[in-house]
Amino acid sequence: MTDDEGVTVYWRPGCPYCMRLRVSLRLKKLPRTEINIWEHPDAAAFVRSVADGNETVPTVVVAGHAMVNPSPATVMSEVRSRAPHLLA
């Protein structure tokens, strides 16, 4: 379900941390796939697999590397090191 070359953001409605991260990445014009875990059971299962059984969001995967509840700065740092081709 993840993009091994890009960025995937797993989120759910009503999550303030998700909203903050998604807005930040949108403002940075970072190409990404956003998946609502409440609409995709397989996405929720993936999140549980990397978040110790919890549906903790946002969970972000950058070029195959999963991070649970990362800050926007952490995501951008991972993009610079793992997927620099995504930066404008």
Q: Return the pLDDT at 10.
A: 98
Can you read off the two tokens belonging to residue 63?
Answer: 């070029």
Is the CA virtual torsion 16, 17, 22, 23 positive or negative? positive
Q: Model's pTM, two decimal places?
A: 0.94
Q: Return the pLDDT at 4.
A: 76
Tokens 């972000």 sit at which residue? 60
Q: Which among 3, 34, 29 has a CA at the least distance from the CA of 18?
A: 34
CATH superfamily of 7-86: Glutaredoxin (3.40.30.10)
Q: What is the pLDDT of residues 4-16, one digit of tens each?
A: 789 999 999 999 9
Q: What is the pLDDT of residues 43-76, one digit of tens each?
A: 999 999 999 999 999 999 999 999 999 999 999 9
